[in-house]
Amino acid sequence: MATITKISPLAPARFPDLPAIDGVRLAATEAGVKYHGRKDVMLAEIAPGSAIAGVFTRSSTRSANVLDCQLKLGATVDGQGLAFVVNSGNSNAFTGRAGDESVARICEKTAEVLGVPAAHVFTASTGVIGERLPDDRITAVIEKLAGDLTADAMEDAAQAIMTTDTFAKGATATVDGVAISGFAKGSGMIAPDMATMLVYIFTDAKIGQSDLQVMVSDLNAKTFNAITVDSDTSTSDTLLVAATGASGVDVTGSQAFADALHGMMLDLAHQVVRDGEGATKFVTVEVSGAVSENDADKVARAIANSPLVKTAIAGEDPNWGRVVMAVGKSGAEADRDLLTIRFGDVLVADKGWVSPDYREEQGAAVMKDEEITIAVDLGLGDASATVWTCDLTHGYISINADYRS
């Protein structure tokens, strides 16, 4: 497999300084699961009494790790520590019973070394689908990782879980005396044989398990579930949030905390789009005036996933006819004559036709920007939705077709 080394033109300038979270220690190392000469396994140890919330892929062919995490979530025991173990290079998806056994062995080894229940160890694997996970290479490094645990290894951990990501993704927020730090990898089904978006977020806030889960599920719908690179859904997507409570600040019902968490989840989600395969444009699709949120979401996704809209953006072509097409195929209630379409601030179409004042040069100027907003008002109701995506370029084809696995 060819290595994609060129950093995305949409990457942030640098990895942010992530504050250490009281109650969380991390470590990363080289286990040689598939890659060589780079860190590929990370361990996070989380203090007893922490709340854990999670959201996972809804794929019916999800990985052994995801199935195991889903069983464990919400069944954790008070007063016992927890751990996250993640490897890159192999997704342990569609590996039958052998995949389940690999997860069990990793959890048992980690539990033994850290002195926590195996039911408190949450694993994830990202990489090739369908190859046996060499779990012995992972269990062989757990003791070393446990010895290396430190509060300041967020960036190391973010790097260890990358597959063909072109940059490590981190974000942070502080609010009302609590800190939140997190990192992510991925961009849909990211590269040849590569799968998975993984997100890990840590905070020293104090909040109950079920309150945290409700908050995270709600925010997930507006952040990670509102991005699309290529409409393909990974078998391993995992978002885990750990709240250690070490700050002593209770954030139950705190809107300020929810807003801060929302902001950094959105930041990480946008970084995933910015590392989309072959991406050269960051695109925001805003739909308003729908009769229901479900309809608004349908229209936004139809636009964001349309190969013809995405190739037009790649070609810097203000091809609003393709946006009309995508609205039409979405299945949402729409009336041609009430529709308005804007590219950036430019009114392109209204009243069932191109806007009388619109000139092609205006649209073409907007399309030259690196960040583009397409806004559609259906003119029927009050519901709205926003989805983020990237363009579809020769780079996507090269990454997924030209290089053989």
Query: What is the C-alpha separation between 298 and 387, in angstroms, rounded?
Result: 10
- Bridge partners of 178, per DSSP, are 175
Name the burial class of residue 195, with classes exposed (0-12), middle (13-18) and buried (19+) by CB atoms within 10 angstroms of its CB: buried
Which region among 123-131, 198-206, 212-220, 256-264 touches a copy of itself (by CB under 8 A)? 123-131
CA proximity to 172, closest of 24, 302, 30: 24
Q: Is the Cβ of residue 50 or residue 196 nearer to a copy of itself in the bound state? A: 196
x/- mask, a copy of itself, residues 228-257, rule CB under 8 A, reads --xxxxxx----------------------
Query: How far is C-alpha 28 from the chain's CA centre?
Result: 20
Burial (Cβ within 10 Å: 0-12, 13-18, ≥19) of residue 277 = buried
Q: Which of residues 53-72 bind a copy of itself (CB under 8 A)?
A: 57, 59-62
Edge-to-edge strand ranges of the sheet holding 340-343? 353-354, 346-350, 340-343, 371-377, 282-290, 383-390
Comparing CB distances to a copy of itself, the nearer of 95 and 271 is: 95
Q: Closest CB to a copy of itself among 74 and 352? A: 352
Q: Which is nearer to a copy of itself, 140 or 325 (CB)?
A: 325
Stretch that binds a copy of itself, among 28-36, 210-218, 256-264, 397-405 (CB under 8 A): 397-405
Per CB under 8 A, 3 contacts a copy of itself: no
Query: Total binding residues for a copy of itself by CB under 8 A?
Result: 71
Interface residue with a copy of itself, options 325, 344, 365, 381 (CB under 8 A): 325
168-227: contacts with a copy of itself (CB under 8 A): 189, 192-193, 195
- CB closer to a copy of itself, 269 vs 348: 348
Among residues 46, 39, 94, 105, the alpha carbon closest in space to that of 67 is found at: 94
State the nearest-atom distance from the C-beta of 200 to a copy of itself, in Å. Answer: 22
8 A C-beta contact, residue 171 and residue 268: yes
Residues identified as active-site: 196
- Positions 78 through 117 that interact with a copy of itself (CB under 8 A): 93-99
Nearest to a copy of itself of 54, 278 (CB atom): 278
Q: Does residue 311 belong to the site contacting a copy of itself (CB under 8 A)?
A: yes
Q: Which is nearer to a copy of itself, 93 or 199 (CB)?
A: 93
Cα 309–311–317 angle (5° rounding)? 80
Touching a copy of itself, residues 274-303 (CB under 8 A): none
| Closest C-alpha to 204, from 225, 229, 176, 227 | 176
Distance CA 37, CA 209 (A): 39
If one asks whether residue 377 binds a copy of itself (CB under 8 A), the answer comes out as no
Residue 235 CB, nearest distance to a copy of itself (Å)?
A: 6
Strands 282-290 and 371-377: parallel
Q: How far is the CB of 85 from a copy of itself (least distance, A)?
A: 22
Restricted to residues 340-359, the positions that interact with a copy of itself (CB under 8 A) are 349, 351-354
Strands (E), 192-321: 198-203, 238-243, 282-290
Q: Within positions 127 to 156, which residues make up the interface with a copy of itself, using CB under 8 A? A: 128-130
Q: In what order do the strands lie in the sheet with 24-29?
A: 24-29, 41-46, 82-90, 121-128
44 contacts a copy of itself (rule: CB under 8 A): no
**Size of the chain, expressed as the number of residues it contains:** 405
Least distance to a copy of itself, CB of residue 390, Å:
12
Minimum distance from CB of 353 to a copy of itself (Å)? 4
